[in-house]
Chains A and B, each alone.
Chain A
Amino acid sequence: MTTPDAAAARVEVLIEQLRAGPDPRSALVADELVRCLVQLYGEGLRRVVERLGPEGATALCDDPLVESLLLVHDLHPAGPRERITRALERLRPRVGELDLLGIGDDGVVRLRAAGSRGCGSAQRSLIESAVRRVAPEAVRVEVETPPPLLQVTRRPG
């Protein structure tokens, strides 16, 4: 199934090809073409969501593709706090306890990982991509971790 992310990746590859070509100006034209259509369809979606009202819009979000399109255009019926909290709940079995500390006016999402499983870089990127998926307006995701406990392991061998 196609997704907005896959479509965006394809668009960026094509625009990059034009930018590297003999006339880089064509990349700017292509950029403007995409902008024209994305904004037109965005305006259409905005009117659809407006007509459906909050309940109808929430029902639309049952379809993951439609939900991600609503996110692209800032039309999702749930606010970022609600979306992020729900995403953290889904992550809990894999990364442990996570709290949303806040979303700054600067677009920085601050989280606290309290779980005993620590927070390695792989987990960090897992958390970050989960947050970005439901809150593309996030500029940065910061994860606070408690100071590491002294780990006692058996000497190998």
Chain B
Amino acid sequence: MSGPGLRRFTVAPVPRCELCATVIGEEHRHVLALADRSLLCACHPCHLLFQAPGAGRFRAVPDRYLALGPADGEALGVPVTPAFVVAHGEGERLVASCPSPAGTTECEVDGAAWDRLAAANPLLREPVADVEAIYLTGREAFLVPVDACYALAGAVRSRWQGGDGGPAVRHLLDAFLHDLRSRV
């Protein structure tokens, strides 16, 4: 609170849990609303509440990062790398999203091609549906939480210049990969 009355509206808001409105810190976890795949900022208790599998409309986003080894993104028919592959629902369709100036461009991943790739590298079956993604760099794959993907997509969109994103976007992607390698 920056002072009484209307003054609190003259400054940036205090982050609050979007499920129960408790004040939370700048560093906080997220919960995915399955209805519209939107991320909600969550306090620790609300995040815990939605960690149970199959818990209704919301699902807690885990914070694990794993190196999944080699994966050939092109064999999947994903047009651009880097891309995030997320399973929409348990055993349902796989969707690849590529960061772009318009946010993310989505395309469905060919199921048969995915099965061939996963047969060669079973770790690709590791992510939890909806809340964990596979980040494909072109040669390697990493398991990352979806909130990290959303954050990267937002940063890419805001810094995109010209046809290929420009140096700022290349720098952003390099930094993301560097960060991934330090976490796995």
Give Cα A32–Cα B3 distance, bound, in whole angstroms.
17
Q: Which of B10, B16, B18 contacts A72 (CB 8 A)?
A: B10
Expressed in whole angstroms, the minimum distance between the Cβ of B33 and any Cβ of chain A is: 9
Question: Of all chain B residues, which has the CB nearest A5?
Answer: B5
Closest approach, in angstroms, between the C-beta of B171 and any C-beta of chain A?
Answer: 31
Are A132 and B10 in contact (CB-based, < 8 A)? no
- Least distance between A133 CB and chain B CB atoms (Å): 10
Report if A99 contacts B (CB, 8 A). no
Chain A residue numbers with a CB within 8 Å of B40 are 25
Q: How far is the CA of A72 from the CA of B10 in the complex (A)?
A: 8
**A11 and B6 contact, CB distance less than 8 A:** yes
Main SS of chain A's interface residues?
Answer: helix
Q: Mark B27-61, 1 if CB is under 8 A from A, else 0.
A: 00000000000001000000000000000000000
Please report the C-alpha to C-alpha distance between residue A43 and residue B7 in the assembled complex, in whole angstroms.
13
Beta-carbon contact of B21 and A72 below 8 Å: no
Q: Which one, B9, B16, B18, B19, contacts A39 given CB within 8 A? A: B9
CB distance from B143 to the nearest CB of A (A): 29
Residues on B with C-beta less than 8 A from A31 are: 9, 13
Most buried by A among B6, B13, B16, B21: B6
Q: Is B13 a contact of A72 with CB atoms below 8 Å? A: no
**Is there an interface contact between B6 and A38, defined as CB atoms closer than 8 Å?**
yes
Q: Mark A1-39, 1 if CB is under 8 A from B, else 0.
A: 000110111010000000100001101100110110011
For the complex, is A118 an interface residue (Cβ under 8 Å from B)?
no
Q: Which residue of A lies closest to B2 (CB)?
A: A137
> In the complex the two chains form, what is the Cα distance from A38 to B9 in whole Å?
6
| Chain A residues, CB < 8 A from B4 | 5, 8, 132, 136
CB distance from A129 to the nearest CB of B (A): 10
Residue of A35, A137, A139 near B13 (CB, 8 A) is A35
